[in-house]
């Protein structure tokens, strides 16, 4: 057989596969176009009114961590920044900022997962500080989950990871015990605490593929958010039509400008979330999109179906969409974007810290400091 170089093989494959790939994509697009109106009629996809004049006080918290190799091991820097915004009749101004940081050495064990937990603690610490200051704010945004998901919980034999998890779990549990009554919906005049996460589509896609004609299939939905039971017959056989459509293409196809999904419970299987006592009061979520070209995001809110209705959820969603900004093809609420910009110095500062650490050890400054005055203690 005559040998073929890679360029020729790829050219041949592209010619052979192109018609089939194009045909499959066109079929998926047609399926989405047919399904989207059904989702809208059933209340699974909801258009949100865009307010003309906005007056809002919002605080956005962004977190970030980085790792640097140092002396055969690792050091890390982790921080969170809060930016407070005041919007008065569409005029935006910053009213304050706050931050928290942590810098130390770290071993190799589950570094990224441990730092995810550290970031959650930092976000909660800044929320706690804001509530302690009794600042009047309508909305508080964080960029970490509200609660610890099952995939973030380590095995007990991973000692350092487990210790970080326990520390974070206890901090979140203490926050909700002490501050729940300061937050909406438990305090009607209190701020809404919302977690904004990007592209976590599994929940709404899984719900869409259930038989929504049955009570079991609807158990995750917040019926108070406007689900139309009379339209469920039109959704028959939907699972088969969605089977060949990927999650990302599906959710991008049904969400347009200023739209959101129906709210859904995230606590149907409560064993997946920690701390258990805090989760007992409920967690709900919905996906939203401010513009067709924008990134889809998910909002997590604390509470149960009895605490929220369609009007309240639309108000939260519209505020999130108004604040939505595009940064390098990633969507982020404006106050979090401003906070993220401050976090850009974290890598440079950790590199500077590593350099100082190397010099201190090379010059024996650390040991000299520890040993200085040792003899004085025996005089």
Give the tens place of pLDDT for each residue, 219-267: 888 888 888 777 777 766 666 666 666 667 777 788 888 999 999 988 7
Q: Is residue 338 very low, low, confident or very high in pLDDT (cuts 50, 70, 90)?
A: very high
Average pLDDT over the chain, rounded to an integer: 84
Which is higher by pLDDT, 369 or 261? 261
Domain residue spans in the chain?
A: 39-52+197-335, 56-189+337-357
Average pLDDT over residues 114-140: 93
Q: Is residue 377 very low, low, confident or very high in pLDDT (cuts 50, 70, 90)?
A: very low
pLDDT higher than threshold 80 for residue 328:
no
Q: Which CATH number fits domain 56-189+337-357: 3.40.50, 2.50.20, 3.30.410, 3.30.420?
A: 3.30.420
Q: Is residue 364 very low, low, confident or very high in pLDDT (cuts 50, 70, 90)?
A: low
pLDDT higher than threshold 60 for residue 270:
no
Q: Give pLDDT tens digits for 311-322.
A: 999 999 999 999
Q: Is residue 288 very low, low, confident or very high in pLDDT (cuts 50, 70, 90)?
A: very high
Q: Give pLDDT tens digits for 191-206.
A: 999 999 876 666 677 7
Percentage of residues of the chain with pLDDT beyond 90 = 44
Label each residue of the chain as H, E or C. Answer: CCCCCHHHHHHHHHHHHHHHHHHHHHHHHHHHHHHHHHHHHHCCEEECCCCCCCCEEEEEEEEEEEEEEECCEEEEEEEEEEEEEEEECCEEEEEEEEEEEEEEEECCCCHHHHHHHHHHHHHHHHHHHHHHCCCCCCEEEECCCCCEEHHHCCCCCCHHHHHHHHHHHHHHHHHHHHHHHHCCCCCCCCCEEEEEEECCCHHHHHHHCCCCCCCCCCCCECHHHCCCHHHHHHHCCHHHHHCCCCHHHHHHHHCCCCEEECCEECCCCHHHEECHHHHCCCEEEEEEECCCCCCCEEEEEECCHHHCCHHHHHHHHHHHHHHEEEECCEEEEHHHHHHHHHHHHHHHHHHHHHHHHHHHHHCCHHHHHHHCCCHHHHC
Average pLDDT over residues 306-313: 93
Which is higher by pLDDT, 133 or 146? 146
Most confident of 130-134, 191-195, 288-292, 295-299: 191-195
Q: Give pLDDT tens digits for 145-184.
A: 999 988 888 888 889 999 999 999 999 999 999 999 999 9
pLDDT higher than threshold 70 for residue 376:
no
pLDDT higher than threshold 70 for residue 369:
no
pLDDT higher than threshold 70 for residue 82:
yes
């Amino acid at each position: 057989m005559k040998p073929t170089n890679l360029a020729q093989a790829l050219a041949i494959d592209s010619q052979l596969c192109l018609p089939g790939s194009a045909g499959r994509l066109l079929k998926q697009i047609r399926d989405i176009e047919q399904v989207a109106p059904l989702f809208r009629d059933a209340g699974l996809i909801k258009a949100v009114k865009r307010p003309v004049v906005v007056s809002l006080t919002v605080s956005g918290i962004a977190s970030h961590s980085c790792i640097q190799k140092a002396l055969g091991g690792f050091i890390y820097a982790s921080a969170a920044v809060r930016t407070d915004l005041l919007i008065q009749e569409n005029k935006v101004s910053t009213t304050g900022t706050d931050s928290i940081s942590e810098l130390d050495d770290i071993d190799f064990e589950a570094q990224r997962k441990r730092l995810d937990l550290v970031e959650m603690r930092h976000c909660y610490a800044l929320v706690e500080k804001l509530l302690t200051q009794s600042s009047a704010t309508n909305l508080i945004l964080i960029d970490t989950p509200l609660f610890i998901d099952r995939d973030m919980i380590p095995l007990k034999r991973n000692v350092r990871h487990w210790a970080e998890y326990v520390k974070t779990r206890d901090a979140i549990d203490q926050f909700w015990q002490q501050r729940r009554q300061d937050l909406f919906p438990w305090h009607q005049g209190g701020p809404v605490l919302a977690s904004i996460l990007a592209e976590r589509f599994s929940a709404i896609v899984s719900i869409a593929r259930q038989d929504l004609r049955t009570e079991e299939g609807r158990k995750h939905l917040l019926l108070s958010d406007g689900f139309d039971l009379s339209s469920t017959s039109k959704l028959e056989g939907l699972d088969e039509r969605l089977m060949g459509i990927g999650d990302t293409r599906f959710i991008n196809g049904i969400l347009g400008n200023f739209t959101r999904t129906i709210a859904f419970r995230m606590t149907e299987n409560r064993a997946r979330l920690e701390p258990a006592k805090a989760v007992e009061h409920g967690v709900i979520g919905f996906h939203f999109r401010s513009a067709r070209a924008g990134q889809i995001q998910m909002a997590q809110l604390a509470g149960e179906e009895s605490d929220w209705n369609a009007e309240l959820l639309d108000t939260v969603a519209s505020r999130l969409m108004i604040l939505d900004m595009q940064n390098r093809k990633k969507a982020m609420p404006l106050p979090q974007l401003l906070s993220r910009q401050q976090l850009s110095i974290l890598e440079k500062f950790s590199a500077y810290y590593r350099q100082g650490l190397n010099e201190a050890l090379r010059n024996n400054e650390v040991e000299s400091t520890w040993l200085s005055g040792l003899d004085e203690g025996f005089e």
